[in-house]
Amino acid sequence: MRNPLSKAFRALEFHNFRLWTAGALVSNIGTWMQRVAQDWIVLTQLTHHDATALGIVTGLQFAPQLLLVPWSGVAADRYNKRKLLMLTQASMGALATALGMLTISGHIRLWHVYMFAVLFGAAAALDAPVRQTFVGELVGDEHLPNAVAINSTSFVACQMLGPAAAGLVIAKVGTGWAFLSNGISFGAVLLSMYLLRVHELKGNERPSELRPGFLEGLNYVWARSDLRSILIMLVLVGVFGMNFPIFTSTMAVTVFHSDARAFGLLSSMMAVGTIGGALMAAKRDKPKFGTLCLGTAVFGIGCALAAFSPGYWWFGAALALIGAAAITFMTATNSIIQLSTERTTRGRVVAIGMGVMLGGTAIGAPVVGWVANHFGPRCSLGIAAASAFAAALIAARMMAGPAAVPQDA
């Protein structure tokens, strides 16, 4: 009988997935370093605590996720995922290196950050659906939910290390070196992709026609009441609830008057809760739709507690709860969408879901930043709580209705 710990990490029995996870672990630390550095340089060096500018940066970075949906999903379904990922990862590594060198040289300006945010967003928009569906080729559908949860665990484990490392690097040698560290970290994932055993990958059928590909995926989603409802939940949570950089940075800087190290620590505290939620998700054999309801409800509670936090450590505890709830919702959504979708349209459906989620974040970021500027970050957290509760009500209605998704999707 498999013990609970080995059950939680069973996808690591696959050589290719172990290699992929090791490379991603290094790269994700760099990614989190860059996220913190980007927020910090905008708030403290290029503006005077301007949350609206930070919201614009966030919006520009996520907007391509929505705008490029017609192409990113089709690419994920039609082209060789391994080669496509090597291209997108190399592109993001080059961009991070260029941003780091520009910052170290002292020539960085706010418009530069805006420009790089768009370029990063475009590369990530193509990368995301390919990366999500490539997991199925590494382990197969049987172990897909576990692999998705392990990926999430790895990502948020790096959320504990990356921000703390970024705080130290920024304090000791400057923001530009945090960007440069991220650029170097992409070498690890590129090496892991190069060393994969290609003959062990689980092949995926690819549609022969490219032109109608996106419309086929869109029609597929529209014909499914469960997928339509899940997309509405993603919009609500994405637009108002997933702007963590704005919530965390504005609370840290304007409410608690934190320095770079304390700011980075808040992201690490959030990661503590997130990694706990990811490990719980890894133990599930199949995602259950009721988890979506629970995840969004707890997310709303966490945002409400964060909005009323009387001090720094109380706020950090609320972030841990938010992290656990967010990862529960996202891993369940990812697994349900992939396992309930035909393999030939999976990339397009995943791209639509991610485009709606991250595109919603792009739309909401300037709004959330404006609210934080004019009414305070606590008010923006209150709006996030309300949107999460609305998503939970939709999930509850889906479960109770005659067209509800089966409990074991």
Mean pLDDT, each 10-residue run in order, the chain (409 residues): 60 90 91 89 85 82 78 80 93 95 93 94 88 85 81 77 86 91 94 91 58 67 81 88 82 82 79 80 71 91 93 91 90 82 78 78 81 89 93 85 46
Q: What is the pLDDT of residue 98?
A: 96
DSSP code of 402? T
**In a domain? residue 408:** no
Name which of 216, 226, 316, 336 is nearest 271 in CA terms. Answer: 316
In degrees and rounded to multiples of 5, residue 288 shows phi and psi of -110, 140
Among 409, 408, 405, residue whose Cα is nearest residue 228: 405
Q: Measuring CA to CA, which residue among 405, 330, 271, 274 is closest to residue 132?
A: 330
Residue 205 within any structural domain of the chain: no
- The verdict on residue 67 lying in a domain is yes
Cα 20 from Cα 15, distance rounded (Å): 9
Residue 238: per-residue pLDDT: 87
In a domain, 1, yes or no: no
**Max Cα–Cα distance, the chain, nearest Å:** 61
The 8 Å CB, 24+ separation contacts for 143-146 are 143/10, 143/11, 143/14, 144/335, 144/338, 144/339, 145/281, 145/284, 145/285, 145/286, 145/287, 145/331, 145/335, 145/339, 146/8, 146/9, 146/10, 146/11, 146/282
Give domain status of residue 409, yes or no: no
- For 401, other C-beta atoms within 10 Å of its C-beta total 12
Q: At what angle do helices 225-240 and 346-375 cross, to 10 degrees?
A: 30
User: Quick one: which of 100, 110, 118 has its CA closest to 166?
Assistant: 100
> Distance between CA atoms of 327 and 274, rounded to whole angstroms?
6
Alpha-carbon distance 132 to 149, whole Å?
11
43 is written with which tokens? 């708030």
CATH number reported for the structural domain that contains residue 227 in this entry: 1.20.1250.20
DSSP run (H or E) holding 3: none
Residue 142 in any domain: the answer is yes
**Residue at 350 is within a domain:** yes
In whole angstroms, what is the distance from residue 264 CA to residue 184 CA?
20
First-to-last C-alpha distance (Å) of the chain: 25
Examine residue 176 and state whether it is found in any structural domain, yes or no: yes
Its pTM stands at 0.71
Q: What is the pLDDT of residue 145?
A: 80
pLDDT at 226: 79
DSSP β-bridge partners for residue 408: 288
Domain hosting 115: range is: 10-200+210-400
- Split into its structural domains, the chain has a count of 1
Count CA atoms within 13 Å of residue 267 on its CB side: 33
Q: What pLDDT does residue 269 have?
A: 84
Q: In 316-409, at which residue ranges do the beta strands (DSSP E only) sit?
A: none
